[in-house]
């Protein structure tokens, strides 16, 4: 029996799951291809990071009577690219939320998720928005719309992409995303906030056994969202909080500072070239906004400066509902700063490291663009899980070094050779590189 989180096990599960997706085609339509074949074929393109992967597999099939799309990705019959788009467009992207939770729940069952628990005893989830399509001409009913300074209208798609993050942990772990859709409003701020509330409402039951600390930029440091996290879901947050958007709060901070009541901590760090001064300040129970109904939050600040010149190297401020003290202000700040991993280790990788998130893979008339983005996000999650759980995958990624080299080798091998299983493919690569299981 295949381990559930092995690639062979995952693809077998998805074949079964996606075979149950709704088929809206009329009975007299040509049904040579199953819905599952279309979804699995599209997923294979994103997993292999190759727009030509399916074309090579069609050629292998014609010459050898077998192909890697079938053996590795469970695609029984390979549809053409237009057929894939036609099969996927009528589906609902929300159908695929379950496929993320299947992976995450198996990670939890295997106690692999525990490596994301931080020193606070919580799991930090960073939230941010990312755009993945833009056009002046192509649009659908799921498109957002903005107007540039020249009056030109741009259609685009966007989503919030929550991820598990942890200080010192290289990989982020993708959670189900939430698409930002036109009904959320026209302003980016309103869209992201509303999408975040929808995401919390839909997914909070999955975290009833865990303590969560949500991380986000200044956009999320608003009373309705903070109260929702604190009072409704009984979880925690550490959000960036800027003076220009929280004037009332910073009047309190100024008043407290003048009365010398701010908590303060300073220590020195050597960065390998010169000394740095890390200066922390914090205040407890200050109002998040003006008004008698203002939520009370705790505020913290970190300023990093050059020890000799005094030059500011880093400065940021946060609000949280965690208690803040001299004992934990350093830890809280370190976790709050981990928010940047969603940009560096998630959004940036999806845009620049082979996933080509911003590319238009197909727009369709219904939900195609969102479905294709979903499969791309899912491929990224499964790549990450393999790096965490599968020894052969870990070994090859480590030895080959760059992500680009690893996927170039996968594409080259599967272009000319057919492998019965993923284990066979990885064993072939290991033997070719003369690697043993315990290779450094």
Cα angle for residues 401, 406, 409 (degrees, 5° grid): 135
The structural domains of the chain, with segments of one domain joined by +, span 7-94+363-432, 119-350
End-to-end CA distance of the chain: 29
Residue pointed to by tokens 């969603």: 342
Q: What percent of the chain has a predicted confidence (pLDDT) above 90?
A: 82
pLDDT tens column, 152-182:
988 899 999 999 999 999 899 999 999 998 7
Instruction: Output the 3-class SS for the chain.
Output: CCCCCCHHHHHHHHHHHHCCCCCCCCCCCCCCCCHHHHHHHHHHHHHHCCCCHHHHHHHHHHHHCCCHHHHHHCCCCCCCHHHHHHHHCCCCHHHHHHHHHHHHHHHHHCCCHHHHECCCCCEEEECCEEEEEEECCCCCCCCEEEECCCCCEEEEEEEECCEEECCCCCCCEECCCEEECHHHCCCHHHHHHHHHHHHHHHHHHHHCCCCEEEEECHHHCCHHHHHHHHHHCCCEEEEECCHHHCHHHHHHHHHHHHCCCCEEEEEEEECCCCEEEEEEEEEEEEECCCCCCCCEEEEEEEEEEECCCCCEEEEEEEEECCCCCCCCHHHHHHHHHHHHHHHHHHHHHHHHCCCCCCCCCCCCCCCHHHHHHHHHHHHHHHHHHHHHHCHHHHHHHHHHCCHHHHHHHHHHHHHHCCCCCHHHHHHHHHHHCCCCCCCC
pLDDT tens column, 189-236:
458 899 999 999 999 999 988 999 999 999 999 999 999 999 999 999
pLDDT of residue 414 exceeding 90: yes
Determine the pLDDT at residue 231. Answer: 96
**289 with 299: CB under 8 angstroms?**
no
Rounded CA gap, 268 and 279, in Å? 9
Taking residues 307-326, report their average pLDDT: 96
Q: Tokens for 413?
A: 């091998």
pLDDT tens column, 119-136:
999 999 999 999 988 888
pLDDT tens column, 72-112:
999 999 999 999 999 999 999 999 999 999 999 999 999 99
Determine the pLDDT at residue 313. Answer: 96
pLDDT of residue 440 exceeding 90: no
CATH code assigned to 119-350: 3.90.350.10
Which residues are CB-neighbours of 28 under 8 A, at least 6 positions away?
none
Determine the pLDDT at residue 184. Answer: 56
pLDDT of residue 38 exceeding 80: yes
Determine the pLDDT at residue 222. Answer: 96
**39 with 32: CB under 8 angstroms?**
no
pLDDT grade, residue 183 (50/70/90)? low
Taking residues 425-435, report their average pLDDT: 93
- 286 forms beta bridges with 297
Rounded CA gap, 375 and 370, in Å? 9
- 125 forms beta bridges with 164, 214
Rounded CA gap, 367 and 364, in Å? 7
pLDDT grade, residue 335 (50/70/90)? very high
Q: What percent of the chain has a predicted confidence (pLDDT) above 70?
A: 96
pLDDT tens column, 380-411:
999 999 999 999 999 999 999 899 999 999 99
pLDDT tens column, 371-382:
999 999 999 999
Q: In the predicted model, what is the mean pLDDT of the chain?
A: 93
pLDDT of residue 42 exceeding 80: yes
Q: Tokens for 99?
A: 């496929």
| Residue 416 CA to its chain's centroid (Å) | 33
| Whole-prediction pTM | 0.93
């Amino acid at each position: 029996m295949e381990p559930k989180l092995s690639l062979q096990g995952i693809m077998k599960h998805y074949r079964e799951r996606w075979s149950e997706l709704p088929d809206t085609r009329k009975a007299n339509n040509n049904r040579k291809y199953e819905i599952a074949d279309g979804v699995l074929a599209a997923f294979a393109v994103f997993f292999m990071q190759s727009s030509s992967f399916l074309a090579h597999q069609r050629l292998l099939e014609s010459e050898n009577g077998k192909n890697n799309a079938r053996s590795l990705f469970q695609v029984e019959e390979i549809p053409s690219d237009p057929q894939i788009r036609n099969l996927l467009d009528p589906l609902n992207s929300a159908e695929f939320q379950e496929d993320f939770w299947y992976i995450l729940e198996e990670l939890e069952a295997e106690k692999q998720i525990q490596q994301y628990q931080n020193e606070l005893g919580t799991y930090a989830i960073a939230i941010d928005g990312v755009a993945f399509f833009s056009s002046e001409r192509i649009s659908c009913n799921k498109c957002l719309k903005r107007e540039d300074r020249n009056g030109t209208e741009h259609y685009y798609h966007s989503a919030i992409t929550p991820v598990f993050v942890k200080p010192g942990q290289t990989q982020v772990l993708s959670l189900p995303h939430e698409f930002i859709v036109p009904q959320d409003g026209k302003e980016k701020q309103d869209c992201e906030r509303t999408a975040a509330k929808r995401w919390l409402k839909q997914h909070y039951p999955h975290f009833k056994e865990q303590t969560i600390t949500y991380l986000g930029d200044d956009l999320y440091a608003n009373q309705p969202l903070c109260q929702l996290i604190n009072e409704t879901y009984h979880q925690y947050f550490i959000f960036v909080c800027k003076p220009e958007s929280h004037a009332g709060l910073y009047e309190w901070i100024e008043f407290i500072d003048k009365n010398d009541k701010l908590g303060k901590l300073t220590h020195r760090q050597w960065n390998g070239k010169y000394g740095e001064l890390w200066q922390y300040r914090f205040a407890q129970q200050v109002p998040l906004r003006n008004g008698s109904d203002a939520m009370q939050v705790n505020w913290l600040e970190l300023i990093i400066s050059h020890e000799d010149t005094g030059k500011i190297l880093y400065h940021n401020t946060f609000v949280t509902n965690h208690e803040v003290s001299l004992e934990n202000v350093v830890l809280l700040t370190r976790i709050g700063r981990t928010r940047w991993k969603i940009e560096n280790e998630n959004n940036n990788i999806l845009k620049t490291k082979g996933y080509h998130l911003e590319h238009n893979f197909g727009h369709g008339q219904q939900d195609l663009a969102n479905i294709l983005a979903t499969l791309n996000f899912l491929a990224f999650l499964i790549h990450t899980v393999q790096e965490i759980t599968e020894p052969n995958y870990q070994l090859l990624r480590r030895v080959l070094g760059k992500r680009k080299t690893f996927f170039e080798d996968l594409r080259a091998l599967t272009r000319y050779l057919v492998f019965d299983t993923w284990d066979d493919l990885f064993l072939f690569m290991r033997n070719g590189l003369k690697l043993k299981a315990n290779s450094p």
